[in-house]
Amino acid sequence: MPRVVVLTVLCSTAAVAQASGDEWSTFPSLPPAEAAPPTSGPEAVPKPAHAPDAKPAAASEAPAPGKVDPARSRVEERIGAAKRKASEEAKVISSEERYLPGSEPHSPSTTGNAFSAKSNLRVSPGVVGIGLLHVGSADIGRRGLVRFSVTGEYMSLSDFPVLKAQNIRSAGTFAASFVPLEWLETYVGYSASANTNSASSPNLIQALGDITFGAKASRRWAKGLSAGLDLRLLTFSGVGNQGIDRWAVGFSPELVTTYDVREAAQSVPLRLHANLGLALDGTGNLVRNRELNAVEEFALGVNKYNRFSLGLAAEAPLPWVTPFLEYGLALPLGVAGGALVGPDRKRYPVGQVMAQTIGLGLKLTAVKDLTLMAAVDFGLSQRVGLGVPATQPFNFLLGAAFNIDPYQRGETKVVEVTREREVGKPQVEPPKTGKVSGKVVDRATQKPIPGVIVAMAGAGLPPVASDADSGAFLTHELPSGPVRLVAHKDGYKESSHEVMLEAGKTAAVELALESEARRASFEVSVTAKKKPVPASVAFVGPAQHQGAVSGSGEPLKAELPAGRYVVNVTSEGHLAQTREVQVTEGAKMPLAFELVPEPAKKLVVVKENRIEILQQVHFATAKATLMADSHSLLQQVVDAIVKNGIKKIRIEGHTDNRGGKSRNQKLSEDRARSVADYLISQGIDASRVETGGFGDTRPIAPNLTARGRELNRRVEFLILER
């Protein structure tokens, strides 16, 4: 009983101390409903029996009934503030992880990608070198990556490669590939095989330690097209021992090409590959003391002939898997009589025994950095011939490839978290905006382009620029729905791309810009009597341009697209000149014109359909040689063509009736051609000039007098097009 009284006193004392609001107390503050002890009921704390009626001095300062205790009020305010803060704390309602463009993982999973996404393609080595299983690729992927692959093979078949024989074969190949430069791949492969056949002795034959070294150089030549040269050094271990002196070597050069159809049609996920080359094989020297039978040749892979090789393949890089189809052919070279002896001692044409296979396979790309492969090869050869390893009717292959980045390029991951503060009842309002994250690359080289201005058409927001290193960009928040991006930069054609933006998400795009042709630079100077004169200059060609030069000697400078131009120069008081030039991209073309003053008396008049000359064109007697005194006359003809914008003329030659008909006909044609040649030498384009001769068939005066014959010996200029 005394223990109960003491416990009761202690509890009462603690309650009084708690209610006093002393801030030094180490007890946690309780809400008002819990701070005051109950005054009635079973849980009320009883007043100690020995407590005196008189209150101690500290208790005498307690507020009178009906008044508020300031200390208690402060506690209650802090508790209320804590509750309000907890209720207003922001809650995470969604989050999204993404990589900044240009820092993506080197070998991401393709799961969930779009049907036509370029990242669906997985670059991995096959049996040796980057490509599919047997066909190499000219697209060697990103520089600096190391790729490993392991491929296993298995086949079990009866009556192969000879009748009444049970054959089981298994093989494995380990390959490694490294791309030290953007255009170079180096690789190595190690293979081993074991073959058990009931018709061989011993039944088990193993081939261990065949090593392949290779280097592939390729580059992108056109839109979607890559091509290059693949060189392989083949080494084959000796039969029955591992001594270097018993090894054999081979060499295989191949042309490799790859065409990505997606570059021309983005919605068609298809890539095509082709390999063409020679295989110089030394395995025929591995066994010299006896002739091998068909089983031994197959088990050891011994081939006595060099071969012409062809490989064709197609693959479809889809989001989850990449199905592919391969075809391979190896045609033996130098086969005597074009036929080989089979195990049954009959001769068979090379076309029936040469190696031909077609393969079907899948690449699974659901795991980051890891590509799983499964395929089956079907043999198309009809017969078995000694000297060429038999082609197995089918062969199952399983493999895996793994990519690593030894340089560890940084991956920048951004986590976007959407939060919402809870006010009253939780109400999650769906987002209404999103962003576009992208990268701008050169369409031809696929290299990033820095400083590209990307505008959001119709959004009323300022444009953004692509990053100086990676070519990446990120737009402002945009309303969900279709968004049109317009990208432009000097030296590139403007590109427009539409994106369907989902609310609360960041859409990823790649913008490919096509470079504009570099302009050619013209510098035109105009002089007369070796002194600068003011003149007007007109360029007619792929682009039209008008300019002027002053008399100060400063040349006219103009930048125009490359191509063929006609340059016309006119100056008051001088005869106009013209010149045709061909200029290439980025070239500099200096042009100098030396003008001739206009004569006091004009000898050329332009009528509706002809150019009339008031003086005869003079030739050497009975010849087509143009006399020098006619040069000034023909310069006035050039002036008339330029100033009147005449596009095409016809020059006709005529003679008198002296001499034979055929001689006069030829003379008239030659004289018209001689005048045309002079006009062309003065800058008139040859395509603007036609010629013809009529001999003495069109006289304009009787040939009875010397004056009449002189008038008939003439040259006429007809206007065909203005």
Helices (H) and strands (E) in the chain, counts: 9, 37
403, pLDDT greater than 60: yes
How far is 162 from 519, CA to CA, in rounded Å? 70
**What does DSSP say about strands 370-379 and 347-349: parallel, antiparallel, or unpaired?**
unpaired
Mean pLDDT along residues 109-124: 76
Q: What pLDDT shows up at residue 539? A: 95
Read off the pTM: 0.48
Nearest to 650 by CA among 694, 618, 681: 694
User: Does the pLDDT of residue 412 top 50, yes or no?
Assistant: yes
Q: How far apart are CA 300 and CA 121, in angstroms?
A: 35
- 552, 485 Cβ separation under 8 angstroms: no
Position 460 confidence tier, pLDDT thresholds 50, 70, 90: confident
For residues 290 and 596, what is the distance between their CA atoms, to the nearest angstrom? 94
Q: Name which of 603, 675, 674 is nearest 640 in CA terms.
A: 603
- For position 207, what pLDDT does the model report? 82
| Residue 325 DSSP code | E
Q: What is the pLDDT of residues 222-232, one digit of tens each?
A: 988 999 999 99
Rounded to whole angstroms, the Cα distance separating 510 from 101 reads 9
Res 487 pLDDT > 70: yes
Q: In angstroms, rounded to a whole number, what is the distance separating the alpha carbons of residues 393 and 377?
A: 8
List, for residues 631-646, the tens digit of each pLDDT value: 999 999 999 999 999 9
Secondary structure of residue 633 in the 3-state scheme:
helix
Choose among 386, 323, 8: nearest CA to 162.
386
Query: What six digits make up the tokens of 678?
Result: 């002079």
Residues 6+ apart with CB under 8 A from 88: 421, 422, 423
The domain over range 118-404 is classified in CATH as 2.40.128.130: yes
- Evaluate whether 505 touches 434 at the Cβ level (below 8 Å): yes
pLDDT tier for residue 55 given thresholds of 50, 70 and 90:
very low
pLDDT confidence tier of residue 267, bands split at 50, 70 and 90 = confident
Mean pLDDT of the region 186-193:
94
In terms of Cα–Cα distance, which of 219, 218, 216, 220 is closest to 230? 216
> Residue 508 in 3-state DSSP?
strand
pLDDT at 34: 40
Average pLDDT, the chain: 83
Structure tokens at 449: 């382009």
Rounded to an integer, what distance in angstroms lies between the CA atom of residue 174 and that of residue 646?
Answer: 75
Q: How does residue 26 score in pLDDT terms, banded at 50, 70 and 90?
A: very low
- What are the residue boundaries of the structural domains of the chain, listed by start? 2-55+69-88, 118-404, 520-595, 604-721
DSSP state of 263: G
Residue 418 CB contacts under 8 Å (≥ 6 apart), including other chains: 92, 93, 94, 95, 431, 504
Lowest-confidence range among 20-34, 289-303, 602-616, 658-672?
Answer: 20-34
At 138-167, the pLDDT tens digits run: 999 888 889 999 999 999 999 999 998 999
Per-residue pLDDT tens digits for 179-189: 999 899 999 99
The closest of 231, 251, 214, 236 to 128, measured between CA atoms, is: 214
**Cβ pair 373, 400 in contact under 8 A:** yes
Task: Report phi then psi at 397, rounded to 5.
Answer: -130, 135
Partner residues linked to 657 by β-bridges: none
- What region does 685 belong to: left with phi over 0, alpha with psi -120 to 50, or beta? beta
Q: What is the pLDDT of residue 46?
A: 45
pLDDT at position 355 over 70: yes
pLDDT at site 128: 86
For residues 169 and 194, give the distance between their C-alpha atoms in angstroms, rounded to a whole number.
Answer: 6
Q: Return the CATH class of domain 520-595.
A: mainly beta
The CATH code of domain 604-721 reads 3.30.1330.60
pLDDT of residue 3: 44
- Helix, strand, coil percentages for the chain (3-state, nearest 5): 15, 45, 40
550-555 average pLDDT score: 87
